[in-house]
Every structure is written in structure tokens, then in C-alpha cells.
Amino acid sequence: MDFGTSNSTVAWFDGRDLHLVPLEGASPILPSAIHLNREFVPLTGSDAVRQYVEENRGRLVQLVAEEIGEEGMALGELGRSGGRGDPAGLRRVVYGPLVDKGQMGRLFQELKRLLGDRSTERLMVFQRAYRVVALITPILERMRLAVEQSAAQRVARVHVGRPVNFEGNDARRNELAVSRLAEAAENAGFRQLSFFEEPVAATLSYVWRAGPQATGTALTVDFGGGTLDLSVIRYAGTRFEVLSTAGTGLGGNRIDQMIYTQLLFPQLGEGETWTRYLDGRVLEGAFPFQEYETGLLNWQSTYLLNQNATKSKVVERIAQGGPAAVKFERLRDLISYNYSYNCFQAIRKAKAELSQVEETVLDIPEINLSIPFTRAMLDRILEPALETLRQLIDEVLAAAGVKQEDISLVIRTGGSSEIVAVRRLLDELFPGKVTAHDPFTSVASGLAIASYYDIQR
């Protein structure tokens, strides 16, 4: 079972054939998302995302202070007649934090990123505090039911994928994350859990496919939606020795945000000026675009920008006219109709196209925006990520005690490994040694093989 930051997969192995389990129709790939409505009924996968996007499209957010109680004060305490217990005492309503009364449901994605964060134990779902473990459990339960239906029997043993390093700054984040993920898996009905590093699992599935005659030393680069994980493994048939592993919290989702920042922000008003009138003075300065950045980059919370306190500034800037007004009209429409999800969908589509062509168009008709997008532009945006990859390769080779030329095979897997700049870097470092391997299912396949043979890490 590969519970991923963006997507999840599960497979089983019978000693001869690998079986990828259908999770969404015929697809083995399930978005790692959960939606809860006000009755706390869960939806998972693509249905969760669709439900959330539709119920927030065009919805004006009105945050109001929730009344949580009242407190009393006797008139005598104000120096007036009466004393404690005086029925004529004053009553004062006590208000809690601002809440979105019109919100119909909550969506949670990328929960894997929170597993190693000790400060995030619970998340609020309306008036109920949900443990992170409880939010993950329905997703894993859906996977268990699907694999049991596929195999026509109960699951006895499951190997669960884990990144080399979970996200977070806590020194013990890996231990915490594994314990939380184990609890969620057990709550979902899985038994006899074993955890296995994801790049090691991807290597195992490749070696199994290569056959018993295959030998060498492999560097595996697993570049997924949330993390970048590497391993160096010496193998001979199905026997292998893990020499080193390394990993960091860099994935395709972060790359999408980098593209959004570089290409879309300037078309939505970043860097533009505006004029304000204060106490009879005319003030001209930069529009406070930073107030919108977090909401735009996290599409699950973009709807919160659709309230008078934030949107009024955009409307005011549009009224001032000038060539930049069209940018703020886009920003207004994006906020008003919750189009940030559409923006990210367009970014992912264009990014994928640039793995095949030199130039495409980042097309977002909902906000009347088309941006020419070239592979060279993407390469420039990716420079920090590529430097991180290069440093991680040096780190994992040094920890393994092997040199670059000692690597006989480079296995690249994960959706982000398909990016041309990533492929080019690996080909430059290891000419003639790089092979692509099942970008979205290699980890689950390797986990299934490890489970069948009860290989432990």
C-alpha cells in the first residue's frame, strides 16, 4: 500500500503475477483526498475534490463571530445598586473565533505532509476536532476494501510505503509519522504492518521485472508529488543490500506552486501600484498582493479570499483603471468563482505537455488568461529544485561509499521524474544508465512483492 501525498495506489502479488488494484473506476490511482460535510459524512478520492470545488464555486464567504456563551456581571460590581446574584445584573454575550457559516464541507489533501508535525495533532472540521489519523483512515479503508475485493480474500499482511524522511523539522518526525500512519492503517482494518522505504520498494519491483540474472548497483530516484527520495542498492536477482537512502520534502506540488508564483502572480496584479486616500492625503504605493499569496497558492483555502475585507481592495484597484486593471479583474474573478483549482489543473496539464513538446500554452479560460510556456521557462523555474536533486545524489552516493561511475543502473520513478530537466540532469550524470520505471505504480508493486516474501526493513 502506497499512501502518497497526492495519490495513492495498492497492489497484491501471488508469487507469479502483480495485480494493481482498481481504485477509481478502472484506474489504480486514487487522489489522497477526503471531504466531510456538516453531517461528517466522508467522501474520498476524486469525488471529494469535485464536491468541494462545486460547493464553493461563486460562493461569497461571510465570516461571523460564533456565539459560544454569555457571562454575567452584577450591577454592584459597577458601583451601582445590587450585588452578586442580583437578577438585574448585566449579561454579556461571549463570541468565539470567526467562522464561515455558509461552508458546506471541508476538504483535506496532502495529509501525509502533516504526519511528522508534532504541533498538528487535530484539525477542526466545523465544531469537531478530528485527529489527523482519523482523517486518513477512510482513505486507507477504501484501499483495503478494494484490494480484498480484487484478491477475493482478507488481507493478512501489508507492506506500507514511507518516504525516507517525512516532512517537518522535528528530529523524531519519522518515528511520529510512522506511528500515526500505522494507527490509521490498523483503524482501517489492515493487520501485520511492515514499513518499507518507497525508493527501496520501487527498486525491488524493477529488479523483479528484470529477472534473476540481473545484477548491479542501482541508484533509484523517486520524485513524487510530495517528496524526493533516493536509494543506492546492490542487487543480484531478488537478493539486495540497501547501501544508503536520502530524502527531502520536495515534490511536484511544490513545483506547481513555483510555476504559479512565477507565471501567474504577475498576471494577477503582483508588483502593481495603487492609490489610496487617507486623511485628505493621496498615497501611492505597491498593491498589498502579499495578502493574497497564501490563499492563491493553496487552492483549498482560496475561497476564504472571497469576502468583503479582502475583495474590496481588488475592486477599489479596478476602479482606478489603467493598463493594470485587467490583471485585477482576473484576480477578482478568480477569487469570486473559486478558480484557483482550475489554475493548478492548467499548470499540471502544461507541465506534463512540456515533457513532450518544447512549447505549449498555459491556458486558463475561466480568467481569460493564456500564457506562452516554454520548456526553457520551466527549466529556469526548476533551477533550485534541480540543485537540490544534484546535492541529494552526492549525499546518497557518499553515504553508500560508492562513486558515480560505480552505479550501473539509475531507476527514475514518480510523476516528477518525467520532467525533461530532471531526465536531462540524470542522463548527464549517468549517461546510458538511466531507465524509466512505472512512475505512479512502481512503489505499490514493490511493496506487494516485499509483502509476499515477507521482506523486512
At 24-53, the pLDDT tens digits run: 999 999 999 999 999 999 999 999 999 998
- Burial of residue 96, with CB atoms counted within 10 A of its CB: 0-12 exposed, 13-18 middle, 19 or more buried: exposed
The single-letter code of the amino acid at 262 is Q
Helix H, strand E, coil C: the string for the chain is CECCCCEEECEEECCCCEEECCCECCECCEECEEEEECCCCEEECHHHHHHHHHHHCCCCCCEEEEEEEEEEECHHHHCCCCCCCCCCCEEEEEEEEEEECCCCEEEEECHHHHCCCCCCCEEEECCEEEEHHHHHHHHHHHHHHHHHHHHCCCCCCEEEEECCCCCCCCCCHHHHHHHHHHHHHHHCCCCCEEEEEHHHHHHHHHHHHHCCCCEEEEEEEEECCCCEEEEEEEEECCEEEEEEEEEECCCHHHHHHHHHHHHHHHHCCCCCEEEEEECCEEEEEECCCHHHHHHHHCHHHHHHHCCHHHHHHHHHHHHCCCCCHHHHHHHHHHHHCCCHHHHHHHHHHHHHHCCCCCEEEEEEHHHCEEEEEEHHHHHHHHHHHHHHHHHHHHHHHHHHCCCHHHCCEEEEECHHHHCHHHHHHHHHHCCCCEEECCCCCHHHHHHHHHHHCCCCC
Q: 177-196 pLDDT, tens per residue?
A: 999 999 999 999 998 999 99
How far CA 104 is from CA of 2, 39, 118, 354, in Å, comes to 30, 10, 29, 37
- Answer whether residue 400 shows pLDDT above 70: yes
pLDDT, residue 72, reads 52
pTM of the model: 0.88
Q: Which has more confidence, 337 or 359? A: 359
Question: Average pLDDT of 134-161?
Answer: 95
Q: Which three cell numbers stand for residue 269?
A: 496584479
pLDDT, residue 65, reads 64
- With cut-offs at 50, 70 and 90, classify the pLDDT of residue 403: very high
- With cut-offs at 50, 70 and 90, classify the pLDDT of residue 88: very low
Cell 530516484, residue located: 221
Sorted by where each begins, the domain ranges of the chain are: 7-58+105-212+440-452, 63-100
Q: Residue 169: name the closest of 117, 114, 246, 225 by CA.
A: 117
The single-letter code of the amino acid at 379 is D
Residues 261, 270: Cα–Cα separation, whole Å: 9
- With cut-offs at 50, 70 and 90, classify the pLDDT of residue 75: very low
Q: 362-394 pLDDT, tens per residue?
A: 999 999 999 999 999 999 999 999 999 999 999
pLDDT, residue 174, reads 96
Average model confidence (pLDDT) for the chain?
91
Q: List, in order, residues 6 or more apart from 254 with CB less than 8 Å away.
A: 385
Class of domain 7-58+105-212+440-452: alpha beta
Compute φ and ψ for 306, nearest 5 degrees.
Answer: -85, 65
- Answer whether residue 81 shows pLDDT above 60: no
Q: Which has more confidence, 324 or 68? A: 324
Q: Which of 14-18, 125-129, 396-400, 448-452 has the lowest mean pLDDT?
A: 125-129
Contact between residue 254 and residue 382 where contact means Cβ atoms under 8 Å apart? no
Compute φ and ψ for 217, nearest 5 degrees.
Answer: -125, 120
- With cut-offs at 50, 70 and 90, classify the pLDDT of residue 306: confident
Top mean pLDDT of 67-76, 165-174, 401-410 is at 401-410
pLDDT, residue 156, reads 81
- With cut-offs at 50, 70 and 90, classify the pLDDT of residue 127: confident
Beta strands 239-248; 228-236: pairing state:
antiparallel
- Answer whether residue 80 shows pLDDT above 50: no
The single-letter code of the amino acid at 417 is S
Residues 445, 18: Cα–Cα separation, whole Å: 7
Q: 220-242 pLDDT, tens per residue?
A: 999 999 999 999 999 998 789 99
